[in-house]
Amino acid sequence: MSNYDKSDPRASLAPATTGSALSQTGLVAEAQAALFYASAPQVDDAAGASWLHRGHNFLLAYTQARPGGTFERSDQADEYCVLLPRSGAEITWNGESVAVPGYSIAFVPPGDSRVTMPEGGELVRLFTTGNADLAEACGNARGYDLPRTHIPPFQPWPEPRGGWKVRAYSLDVPKQAGRFGRIFRCTTLMINVLDPFEGPRDASKMSPHHHDDFEQGSLALTGDFTHYLRWNWTSDMADWRPDQALEMGSPSMLVIPPPVIHTTRATGAGSNWLVDIFSPPRVDFSMKPGWVLNAEDYPMPE
């Protein structure tokens, strides 16, 4: 089920296959919401204050870093993402340091690494839940004690062309007709840094849709949003849930379970900035020519 306004680039995606999860029973899971602006951080130390929130395959560490704050990973299991909405960072891996300016996204290989924020500021890191220490530290760590059996086991995508290294990309990418957002992928994650909505979204151009077997993380960096969620009525009334309209400010994070029908409306008067997160990368987005901006560095599975 997908209903996109004709001006939405996603209207060109292939329709969902028959036998959709919408008709299957027993797939009910609750959305996982975190209001970072209204809750205590899971970590608060000399480096900064960090909120951790997880999905099935991915987790987020949202940090307000203090000047000079350093964030290390030892024996990191797999590749992870560093999103720098405004402030720059120095990323060190394998003995080499890369200065990454603000308004950038970077991918860091497995192993030992370090992210330093010279001026402090907003730092977003995204990992897979294969990193058990981080998954257990999440504020909603117990939200996944009951497995989501309809989500396939996580499989990383192929290693990057040219071998492992820190790869950084500017977010200063002009809009292009027919392309959806600003999509980057690595071996473990797909990140869509959407263009900000200035003022409320046109209520006549919403995009209700669902995903059969993968979650969507929606990170609000600025502004206000209302997330609309609808659980399908299957033949088993135990699956039925009332519709939800979750009003969330920023910074915040919502993980939307499959196959919940969902759409989001920016509602703030100013700039409303949202980032969508998927793990592993989405095949449908990857199949669209020109949509994944770093596709030359990260091949698709055969």
Judge if pTM exceeds 0.75. yes
C-alpha–C-alpha distance, residues 83 and 104, integer Å: 6
Structural tokens at position 79? 């590749």
- What residue spans define the domains of the chain? 9-286
User: 3-state DSSP call for residue 12?
Assistant: helix
11-15, 35-39, 213-217, 285-289: least confident range: 11-15
53: alpha, beta or left? (left if phi > 0; alpha if psi -120 to 50): beta
User: 3-state DSSP call for residue 252?
Assistant: strand
The predicted-structure confidence for 213-261, as pLDDT tens digits, reads as follows: 999 999 999 999 999 999 999 999 999 999 999 999 999 999 999 999 9
Say whether pLDDT at 84 is over 70.
yes
pLDDT in the model for residue 68: 98
User: Is residue 9 very low, low, confident or very high in pLDDT (cuts 50, 70, 90)?
Assistant: confident
Mean pLDDT of 145-159: 94
Give every CB contact of residue 214 below 8 A, 6+ residues apart in sequence: 57, 151, 258, 278, 282
Mean pLDDT of 111-115: 98
Return the higher-pLDDT residue of 225 and 2: 225
User: Is residue 15 very low, low, confident or very high in pLDDT (cuts 50, 70, 90)?
Assistant: low
Say whether pLDDT at 12 is over 80.
no
The predicted-structure confidence for 40-80, as pLDDT tens digits, reads as follows: 999 999 999 999 999 999 999 999 999 999 999 999 999 99
pLDDT in the model for residue 1: 61
pLDDT in the model for residue 124: 98
Say whether pLDDT at 18 is over 80.
no
pLDDT in the model for residue 19: 56
Mean pLDDT of 109-136: 98
The predicted-structure confidence for 268-283, as pLDDT tens digits, reads as follows: 999 999 999 999 999 9
* 9-286 maps to CATH 2.40.50.140: no
User: 3-state DSSP call for residue 144?
Assistant: helix
Closest CA to 250 of 262, 266, 228: 266
The predicted-structure confidence for 164-195, as pLDDT tens digits, reads as follows: 999 999 999 999 999 999 999 999 999 999 99
Say whether pLDDT at 17 is over 80.
no
